Structure 1
């Protein structure tokens, strides 16, 4: 284990799989204590055990970030247990794309709840602790890193509500960056293209088939590619704020 993030506490949402899981492992390698937040308790407990077996430090927190009280309780549990909070990575996400005429409203609600409200609830609860850490940490800075998408930059037919949710994440992150940067709390957004995660499997029937055709011939990014970008942001010295990173597969031209 290295020590670029030694003595820091990182909260990662969506830590049970994909980008969240890869990020937790990557930041643990940098010396951080990682709080693994997800609905699937068994998965984050298993991951916490794996981090510990590799010589790192981790705790598992079962929480539903789409519920404001649950999100706030998760943040408070981390602070109470670990004494501080230095970095938040909002990696929980939902993608249920497809024909808007056939789409179900509950699927649209789910994307807004996870992708927008989940970020909002965690940020709201975490900011006071992050500002305190920015004052007291050796790093002299704290971080929020939000995972958006290239869908938060370019709208596409059949992707309307996912577009809306990710445009919202990108916009909110920039507004928060302006609001809190002067207090040594950095806000960064990462906008990946296609990443090989469970996200694509969330879609059903015709929507999944359409996505498969859309990305045919594209070698998707690995979750570790995004985790590397997150590590670059989190380990940057106080003077360097990385506002936005766009990462596409080499083969993805949209």
Structure 2
């Protein structure tokens, strides 16, 4: 189970860690934290030294209720950061968190290697064609609506079956367009209630029927801190606990704010299962 990142084959049989770098002012945990070049480079260096296999850069907040950001503003935010990071850390494998084809293309031209799309191609008709032309690995996530509306769209006939049906449709289209390296993200926190998130985690191994790598993004999310009556700043312990469970359920990539702790989870899990 491998993906081709700019000519480098990455084996996902051993789980990998994707560090999050948000360059938005309103992300739910670290919004506005990395405002200048020094802060950005220090954070990237920290994640790389702690063992991150990928760095995921996002300039469009997808937290529940977040306002829309124009394509122009997203490009203005993200493209200089891609160039900056790769200038100082040229061997870093960058993932771009975007649903827009133009943003994906501009970032790829600057050296990005993976496209991470929260909409599975539903919010920009050009995105799948762009990914196919670029021949980059593509992360498609299950969601409904937009960050502004998704938490009003949580009615499912059967959660797992509905998610699998969603992926069957989107995968068929992506493959028809020529996209071959695909990773699926079940979309924890996106158009799902707290109870549905835990049902999804409990049954996540059902997604292995697709025979594709699975990315899990649960780091410091409200499904953790609301249940523990806490907040995102105090959700690291809960995050680590659920990361361990996600690995046992088949996660191939953990998308995280806290790289060191996630890498330790992977090491312990790998030792246990080797």
Q: TM-score, normalised by structure 2?
A: 0.39
- Give the alignment's TM-score, normalised by structure 1: 0.41
Greater helix fraction, Structure 1 or Structure 2: 1
